[in-house]
Amino acid sequence: MHDGAYCSLTLAGTVGMSGHSKWSTIKHQKEAQDKKRGVVFSKLARLIAIAARDGEDPDKNSRLRMEIEKARKFNMPKENITRAVERGSGKGGGEALESFVYEAYGPSGIALIIEGITDNKNRTISEVKNILTKHQGKMGGEGSVSWMFSHSGVINTSLPENKELIESLTLEVINAGAEDIVEKEDGLNIVVPIEKLEEIKKLLLDSGIEIQSASVEWVPKNPVAVSEQDRNVLERLFEALDEHDDIQEIYSNIKD
């Protein structure tokens, strides 16, 4: 699987992290050729627009602030960000956007959660169904797979060089409400309750820790092993879904 697939997503309790439970469409496309840049900016703009519905001031809207931070990391021009905020707050015109979360199954019954934003739900769901069918998958009903995941905040940080700092920081973060922390070669992956996301982000920043990303994601409770053959089919399915303009993120319960 692509290394943009979620590295901090397979924890529930003390479950270890998988490299492949989340396929990050934005990251994948950033690593693709320059001609994809317009697609990346389009997806980022939709995220910002949806977040801006809850208020156009990022200082008062944590979700908007998070999406703008993500866009800046991808060098999205300031004017693009401004237009997206205006669209979301009703000032920029354009067709109405709606968020969607589809539950589905991949090969061998692998659970999938597909998130996105569309201006035409009927068109999008039809196209997603076709993609799934072509790659040994199928759409599931509401609640069919979401029970296999927890909806949590996920923070990826740089790795402090001081081991004692890591230990003390881990204790602080757990005391602050973190559900799980896993140390990776290049950083810490921390899963937190959604309502604790901003608080724990601030704790980390105040401790001098660089935050590489922070978002709300679907964390599989019990990742399952798949065969190499099924993994290859899933890779092709994820790539096909990734190419769809309306799809933002894809989550699965496969184990690395």
* Mean pLDDT value across the chain: 82
pLDDT for res 253: 93
More reliable by pLDDT, 11 or 195: 195
More reliable by pLDDT, 36 or 135: 135
Residues 40-61 have a mean pLDDT of: 88
Neighbouring residues of 110: CB distance < 8 A, sequence distance ≥ 6: 224, 226, 230, 234, 252, 253, 254
Instruction: Examine the pLDDT at 157 and tell me if it is beyond 50.
Output: yes
Residue in the block written with tokens 């990742």: 223
Could you tell me the two tokens for 97? 């956007």
Instruction: Examine the pLDDT at 41 and tell me if it is beyond 50.
Output: yes
More reliable by pLDDT, 71 or 23: 71
pLDDT for res 256: 67
Instruction: Examine the pLDDT at 223 and tell me if it is beyond 60.
Output: yes
Residues 190-212 have a mean pLDDT of: 91
Coil, helix or strand for 119?
A: coil
More reliable by pLDDT, 9 or 227: 227
Instruction: Examine the pLDDT at 86 and tell me if it is beyond 50.
Output: yes
Q: Are strands 247-252 and 22-24 parallel, antiparallel or unpaired?
A: antiparallel
Coil, helix or strand for 232?
A: helix
pLDDT band at 100 (very low <50, low <70, confident <90, very high): very high
pLDDT for res 115: 93
Coil, helix or strand for 62?
A: helix
Which range has the worst mean pLDDT, 17-21, 122-126, 134-138? 17-21
Coil, helix or strand for 243?
A: coil
Domains of the chain in sequence order:
1-151+220-256 (3.30.70.980), 152-219 (3.30.70.980)
220 to 14, 223, 253: CA distances (angstroms): 12, 6, 5
Angle between helices 37-52 and 62-73 (to 10 degrees): 170
pLDDT for res 128: 97
pLDDT band at 25 (very low <50, low <70, confident <90, very high): low
Which range has the worst mean pLDDT, 2-16, 125-139, 210-224? 2-16
